[in-house]
Structure 1
């Protein structure tokens, strides 16, 4: 029986090691989401003032440093632009779950010992982390959805423009 208790203690100690890095990643995710929200609002304002298809072609050319580009190049550029939004929107909830579950062990132990203060302290950390992670994921998912539509509309227009340029040449 001591062997299993030792394994439980080892697992608990290892999981506690990951709490701080997970909390740090949640904070980074939230900061990234807020930064992307600002960039999203600026991009939305710019899109109201000017067309996006020409801008997509120009940005892709600048990125690839080539004069001629194909629609495949445009698609890859769009995927690159949306990559981190997608990663954060999918991983932040998992990080929130990890950050919730790690403090639950000590909270349950404290509950068994009748220490309400320790239970509260652990539960606040657990639920705060999951709330911030879900907020970051929600913001990134919202921005990802709208930006994907914008960029696909730009891609559609740019493909028509590239096709017309090829036909006239």
Structure 2
């Protein structure tokens, strides 16, 4: 291997530990969000409308218009969307980095080294896919809930506030 190839291999290996740490954080976040999702599902099943996030936002910000509430909806969904999309990519990165040393170990006959590297690679991709799956499921259902909630809020606010045509007609 020439100097460029060695340098690139060394740079790539530097990213393994940070990627594994980020994947561990994403996995913990996915479990946290899954717990929040379960609690929110329970509150919705019990009919506790006050527990709905957009209702709380609009109660705290009565001057907010529909666009501000939609922006709040996007803010709530963004972390879930990011984790569900980024985790698989980082899982692939964490899978590919140990493959180089594993192949080198095969060439050297070090089958214990191969096993160690492949364990890291497969564990990383499994953790990443689990984190992505949990957050994607939570994102999908929560998006529907929030859009239903937004629709109901807009409808309720339209009834409470007179339409512009009613104001100009008076």
The alignment's TM-score, normalised by the length of structure 2, stands at 0.90
- Asked whether the equivalents of residues 88 and 140 of structure 1 are also in contact (C-alpha less than 8 Å), the reply is yes
Tell me: CA distance 1:140–1:54, structure 2 relative to 1, closer, same or farther (3 Å).
closer
For 1:41 and 1:57, the matched residues in 2 are separated by 18
Q: 2:17 aligns with which of 8, 17, 20?
A: 20
The alignment's TM-score, normalised by the length of structure 1, stands at 0.91
Structure ranking higher on relative contact order (CA contacts 8 Å, 6+ apart): 1
**After the TM superposition, which residues 63-82 of structure 1 pair with which residues of structure 2 at under 5 Å, given as runs?**
66-82=61-77
- Asked whether the equivalents of residues 84 and 131 of structure 2 are also in contact (C-alpha less than 8 Å), the reply is yes
Tell me: CA distance 1:110–1:163, structure 2 relative to 1, closer, same or farther (3 Å).
same
**After the TM superposition, which residues 1-20 of structure 1 pair with which residues of structure 2 at under 5 Å, given as runs?**
5-20=2-17
1:107 corresponds in structure 2 to 102
Gaps of 5+ in 2: none
User: Helix, strand or coil: the match of 1:68?
Assistant: coil
User: Helix, strand or coil: the match of 1:149?
Assistant: helix
For 1:93 and 1:76, the matched residues in 2 are separated by 26
1:40 corresponds in structure 2 to 37
For 1:161 and 1:49, the matched residues in 2 are separated by 21
CA RMSD of aligned residues (A): 1.9
Residues 116-151 of structure 1 show CA distances to partners (whole Å, capped at 9, x for unaligned) of 111110000000000000000000000000000000
1:159 corresponds in structure 2 to 154
- Asked whether the equivalents of residues 52 and 154 of structure 1 are also in contact (C-alpha less than 8 Å), the reply is no
1:93 corresponds in structure 2 to 88
Tell me: CA distance 1:57–1:20, structure 2 relative to 1, closer, same or farther (3 Å).
closer
Q: 1:84 aligns with which of 74, 79, 97?
A: 79
2:136 corresponds in structure 1 to 141
Gaps of 5+ in 1: none
Note if 1:61 corresponds to 2:58: yes
Alpha-carbon distance, 1:115 to partner: 1.1
